[in-house]
Amino acid sequence: MTDISKARVSAEFIREKIGTSPCLGIILGTGLGGFAKNIEDGNSIPYGKIPHFPETGVKGHSGRLAIGTIKGLSVAAMQGRFHYYEGYSMKDVTFPVTVLHQLGIQLIIVTNAAGGINPDFNPGDIMLIKDHINLMGTNPIINYFENGIAESEFEPFINMTDTYDKRYMALTEGFAQSAGINLKKGILAAVPGPIYETPAEIEMLKRLGADAVCMSTVPEVIMARALNMKVIGISLITNKSGEITRHVDVIKESEKNIDKFSIILKGIIDNFKEDPKTQVKTGEI
C-alpha cells in the first residue's frame, strides 16, 4: 500500500468520525496546541486512533486532531506534529499533510516555536514566514521519487518560488495592522535538531539571511506545495538563538503568548472566510 493509499484510508476514517468537510488545515507547533480551545462544536481524535498515523512523543505536542468550526469556518487542527529528529522518516513527518489534502483541504496554516536570529526579534514576537531555508539535509519528495510513484501523484520538480501565498500574507499583514499587532516578517531556517545551535551556527544562519530557526515545518510546507495546497506560515519567537535555552522554557513562552497568537490566527481565519477571492468553501459531506 502506497502512502497516498494509506492517507485515503486515514481520511475516510476521519470523515466517518466527524461527518463534515473541513476546508482549512492548521498545524500547531510546540506549546501552541492550546489554540484548539477556540474550536466550537468540535471532535478530538487522538493520533493513535487514526489508521496509519504516527504518534508524537515530544512534550508540548498533545497528539490530537481537533476538528470543528472557528468563526463559522470548518477547520482541522493538528495539536502537535512529528519531527525528523524523533527518528521518523520524512514521509512519516509529512503524512498528516497528505491526509489533510485527502480530506479536501487546499489551504494550510503551519505554525511553530522558533528561535529568533534577527537582533530585532524578541521572545513573544510573532513572525509571518515569507520564505524559508531548508538545512535539514533532505526533503520529503525524495522518498516518493525513490519509490517510483512521485510522477503518478504529483510533479516531483516543484517550483518553490511562491511557497508562501502572497495574497494570504497580505491579508494577514492587513489584519495585524488594523488590530494594532506588531507582526514581524522574515525568513525561517529549518535544521534537523534536536540540539540547539552553536554561536558559530547562529552566525552562519544570520549570514545566510535567516531571521529565525526551527526544527520542523519546512518538510510539511514542501509536501503541501507538492500537493498544490496554499500555505501560510506563522512562527512564535520563543527565545533568542545562541542564548542558553531549555525545551521547557520554549513551551512556557509559547503558552504564555497563546492569547496573542490566537488573535492572529482567528484574524486570518476571519479574513479567509469573508474574502471571496480566497475561494475557501464550507459545507457538509
- What are 126-136's pLDDT values in tens digits? 999 999 999 99
Check whether 275 has a pLDDT greater than 80.
no
Q: When comparing pLDDT for 17 and 61, which is higher?
A: 17
Instruction: Provide the CA 160 distance to its chain's centre, in angstroms.
Output: 16
CA-to-CA separations, 282 to 17, 23, 103, 227, 274, in angstroms, rounded: 18, 6, 13, 20, 12
Q: In which band, very low, low, confident or very high, does the pLDDT at 280 lie, cut at 50, 70 and 90?
A: very low
Rounded mean pLDDT, 228-247:
91
Check whether 149 has a pLDDT greater than 90.
no
* Alpha helices per DSSP H over 147-276: 150-153, 166-178, 199-208, 218-226, 247-256, 258-274
Q: When comparing pLDDT for 274 and 82, which is higher?
A: 82
Those residues whose C-beta lies under 8 Å from the C-beta of residue 189, and which sit 6 or more positions away, are 117, 132, 133, 135, 205, 208, 210, 212, 213, 214
d(CA 200, CA 206): 10
d(CA 236, CA 217): 13
Q: Which three cell numbers stand for residue 123?
A: 521572545
Question: What was the pLDDT predicted at 282?
Answer: 44
* CATH topology (fold) of 3-278: Rossmann fold (3.40.50)
Rounded mean pLDDT, 16-31:
89
Give, for 100, the enclosing helix (H) or strand (E). helix 90-102
d(CA 48, CA 26): 19
Question: What was the pLDDT predicted at 20?
Answer: 77
Q: Considering the entire predicted model, what is its pTM?
A: 0.92
Rounded mean pLDDT, 26-37:
92
Q: When comparing pLDDT for 149 and 177, which is higher?
A: 177
Cβ pair 81, 61 in contact under 8 A? yes
Taking residue 259's Cβ as centre, other Cβ atoms within 10 Å add up to 10
Q: In which band, very low, low, confident or very high, does the pLDDT at 143 lie, cut at 50, 70 and 90?
A: confident
Q: Which of 91-105, 137-151, 156-170, 230-244 has the lowest mean pLDDT?
A: 137-151
pLDDT tens, position by position, 70-101? 988 899 999 989 999 999 999 999 999 999 99
Q: Which of 24-28, 47-51, 270-274 has the lowest mean pLDDT?
A: 270-274
What residues does each domain of the chain span? Answer: 3-278
